[in-house]
Amino acid sequence: MATLIPLGDASRQPRRFAVVTLLIILANAYVFLQELAKGDAFVARWALIPANIEHGRNLVTLVTGTFLHAGWLHIIGNMVFLWAFGPRIEDAMGRMRYLVFYLIGGVVAMLAQVAGSPSSQVPCLGASGAIAAVMGAFIVMFPRDRIRSFVWIFIFIRVTYIPAVWLIGVWFLIQLWNAGAVAGVQTGGVAYLAHVGGFLFGVVTARLWRRKTAYGY
């Protein structure tokens, strides 16, 4: 058993508190509580169904689906990754640019998943595609930054520091490999194509969103 959890950027601190990142986390938490309270009917209404998008129906779920999660581990894992990488990108882009970037990244990620299985009736939900966009931007802006990470391999437990280019780069290669392995499979599971799509959006557009006055970025 091996677990690696990014805890944050050890190389720099944002100049302002990450208000937008925190609000996104709170929004995800609120929606998850609504899922718990209202059950499957709530998920069915707001989760993305690729077949619906293909036919131009329920387009709002391209956004709402990114705020839904399949369980406690799903949302906690996503929010830990967002808090590890989001504050630095928010600081580099500015709050409003970062919010728009995050939302568009989530939509692009969802569209990538739809493109891979357009006739699927399997709900697609989760913030991981939008977070992948944030990680894509991070590897472009701060490739040499060291990410403080919690590592657990069997009985070996420690906090270590891993260059962003390696941590995020390996993560992306895993997503890319799995996306190729499951392409065309009409079953539930991890939305690897959404991860790949969101990440590539972040990599390609990151510098377009960066504030011109962002010192050192």
Q: The CATH number of the domain where 192 resides is what? A: 1.20.1540.10
Q: Do residues 117 and 186 lie in contact, with contact meaning Cβ atoms separated by under 8 Å?
A: yes
Confidence at 88, pLDDT banded by 50, 70, 90: very high
Contacts of residue 31, Cβ cutoff 8 Å, sequence gap at least 6 = 46, 67, 68, 69
Number of domains in the chain: 1
- CA-based nearest residue to 15, from 213, 150, 163: 213
Question: Residue 215: pLDDT band by 50, 70, 90 thresholds?
Answer: very low
Q: Structural domain of residue 164, as residue ranges?
A: 2-209
Distances (CA, A) of 68 to 154, 169, 196: 31, 26, 19
Residue 18 belongs to a domain: yes
Give residue for tokens 């906090």.
159
Q: What is the mean pLDDT of the chain?
A: 90
pTM check: above 0.85: yes
Coil, helix or strand at residue 2:
strand
Within a domain: residue 28?
yes
**pLDDT confidence tier of residue 155, bands split at 50, 70 and 90:** confident
In a domain, 158, yes or no: yes
- DSSP annotation of 65: G
Beta strands (DSSP E) in the chain are 2-9, 146-153, 156-163
- Give the confidence band of 186 by pLDDT, cuts at 50, 70, 90: very low
In a domain, 215, yes or no: no
Residue 216, domain member (yes or no): no
Coil/strand/helix, residue 196: helix
